[in-house]
């Protein structure tokens, strides 16, 4: 069954190529397709396209489909093109002509757009949950090891004293900033495209404000042509936000791989959290973080992929839009998995608290000696030359007493401010998600 099919059958080779993996991917949209159809049916009843009795029958049947989806028993049957066709077919089999009315006033174009926006909105809240878990892990470790010093590097050269408190705290704050981009993505995604039909509206007096409220969107995509132009744009803004999180994950993973190496030896993990070599019995490889780093780079590439897919297209719908789904869905699952695994690994991280006993790091205290001379009245440039001369002549002795007290430094991590920053973002998502869940629950239960 195909929603667009009239009398002739499509060549099977053509059908396989154009449908692609949609039948597999569409099952991720099944729940949202039914919820969207529930809102559409209520709206059709309000404007007189469906009778109250027809709307109740459709709503009841959709609720039954939703139960099958949630129990994992619903699937797209052989010969049915996609989830949208399957839901309509199920309604038609159960309700006859009444079931066929569900597609009135909409196109598969705005139906797919709606499903994807509802899906992406849902996934954003799941990503936020994973980000919060990793953030809490970073903050806890930052506070726990705030006084353990490690060398900070510039140009891959040991440069100045840092600490595990600074290191973990930096990535916590990075995640807080990443949520700003995710908030922006949600604001663009959380707008209702339903009623734009094929991209040019409908002669039916559709109540788009009603479906906007039923589905807890912030607003609608007002212009119906723009609603269709949103296909690809919504995916790109979400991919950009995901890419920001992935960038944080990738950079942290690189640090971990570096710090685990024998040349550094800053951190380690239990044997069961690492892998070995087939010929070198001493190896403890950071495979998890290498895979996170690799997957993060793939996620960061999504924006470019989506730009290439959609950047040279005019307004209106085009079939290559379908190709966005596979990469987007894979990227979302990959990001959530990476966030989970990073947090999981950090439960067992082991910190080397004696790093600075190694004499190779003595020179990172040179700035402390310069600053000490400045405090005693020497100009900074003269103090710099004096310490440099002692280093060159072998007379340098490190001053290991650290007195960093300014905001965000070794002795003043500002973790409470970072937590407050993150909490403000989390509160935004929590309030938004609570309202959405309440509206969707009311829509489903109000038969």
Question: Could you tell me where the DSSP H helices lie in 145-266?
Answer: 164-189, 208-214, 224-260
Cα→Cα distances 184→128, 171, 190, 236, 239, Å:
13, 20, 10, 12, 12
The DSSP bridge partners found for residue 151 are 161
Q: Shortest CA distance to 136 belongs to which of 436, 292, 346?
A: 346
From 52, 155, 282, 406, active-site residue: 155
Query: Is-contact 302 331, C-beta < 8 A?
Result: yes
Query: Is-contact 351 268, C-beta < 8 A?
Result: no
The DSSP bridge partners found for residue 275 are 285
Measured from the Cβ of residue 431, the count of other Cβ atoms closer than 10 Å reads: 10
* Cα–Cα distance, 240 to 22 (Å, whole number): 24
Burial class (CB in 10 A: 0-12, 13-18, 19+), 158: middle
Q: Is 155 an active-site residue?
A: yes
* Cα–Cα distance, 239 to 246 (Å, whole number): 10
Q: Shortest CA distance to 109 belongs to which of 322, 310, 307?
A: 322
* Cα–Cα distance, 182 to 79 (Å, whole number): 38
Sign of the torsion formed by the C-alpha atoms of 229, 231, 232 and 233: positive
Measured from the Cβ of residue 38, the count of other Cβ atoms closer than 10 Å reads: 26
Query: Is-contact 133 124, C-beta < 8 A?
Result: no
Element (H, E) at 18: helix 12-19
* Cα–Cα distance, 211 to 382 (Å, whole number): 72
Q: Is 277 an active-site residue?
A: yes
353 CB contacts (<8 Å, ≥6 apart)?
Answer: 145, 148
* Cα–Cα distance, 224 to 102 (Å, whole number): 20
Q: Shortest CA distance to 229 belongs to which of 288, 310, 305?
A: 310
From 261, 277, 315, 379, active-site residue: 277
* Cα–Cα distance, 256 to 5 (Å, whole number): 55
- Please give the positions annotated as active site: 155, 277
């Amino acid at each position: 069954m195909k929603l667009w099919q009239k009398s002739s059958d499509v060549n099977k080779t053509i059908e396989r190529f154009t449908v692609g993996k949609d039948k597999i991917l569409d099952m991720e949209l099944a729940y949202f397709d039914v919820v969207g159809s529930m809102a559409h049916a209520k709206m059709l009843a309000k404007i007189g396209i469906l009778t109250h009795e027809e709307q109740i029958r459709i709503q009841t049947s959709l609720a039954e489909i939703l139960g099958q989806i949630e129990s994992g028993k619903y699937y797209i049957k052989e010969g049915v093109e996609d989830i949208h066709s399957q839901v309509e077919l199920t309604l038609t089999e159960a309700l006859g002509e009444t079931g066929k009315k569900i597609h009135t006033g909409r196109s598969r174009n705005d139906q797919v757009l709606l499903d994807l926006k509802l899906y992406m909105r849902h996934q954003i809240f799941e990503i936020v949950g994973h980000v919060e878990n990793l953030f809490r892990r970073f903050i806890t470790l930052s506070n726990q090891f705030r006084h353990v010093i490690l060398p900070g590097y510039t140009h891959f050269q040991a440069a100045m004293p840092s600490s595990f408190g600074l290191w973990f705290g930096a990535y916590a704050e990075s995640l807080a900033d990443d949520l700003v981009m995710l908030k922006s993505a949600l604001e663009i995604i959380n707008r209702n495209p339903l009623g734009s039909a094929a991209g040019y509206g409908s002669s039916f007096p559709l109540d788009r404000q009603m479906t906007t409220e039923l589905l807890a969107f912030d607003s609608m995509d007002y212009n119906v042509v723009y609603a269709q132009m949103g296909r690809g744009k919504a995916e790109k803004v979400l991919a950009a936000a995901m890419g920001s999180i992935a960038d944080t994950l990738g950079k942290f993973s690189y640090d971990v791989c570096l710090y685990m190496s024998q040349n550094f030896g800053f951190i380690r993990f239990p044997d069961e959290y690492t892998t070995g070599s087939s010929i070198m019995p001493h190896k403890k490889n950071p495979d998890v973080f290498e895979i996170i780093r690799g997957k993060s780079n793939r996620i960061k590439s999504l924006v470019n992929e989506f730009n290439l897919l959609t950047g040279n297209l005019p307004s209106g719908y085009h079939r290559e839009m379908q190709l966005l789904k596979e990469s987007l869905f894979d990227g979302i699952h990959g990001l959530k998995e990476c966030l989970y695994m990073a947090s999981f690994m950090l439960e067992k991280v082991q910190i080397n608290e004696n790093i600075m006993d190694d004499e190779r790091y003595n020179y990172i205290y040179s700035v402390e000696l310069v600053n000490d001379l400045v405090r005693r009245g020497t100009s900074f440039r003269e103090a710099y030359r004096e310490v440099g001369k002692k280093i060159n002549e072998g007379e340098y002795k490190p001053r290991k007493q650290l007195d960093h007290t300014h905001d965000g430094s070794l002795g003043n991590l500002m973790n409470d401010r970072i937590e407050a920053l993150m909490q403000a973002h989390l509160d935004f998502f929590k309030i938004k998600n609570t309202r959405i869940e309440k509206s969707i629950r009311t829509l489903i239960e109000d038969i």
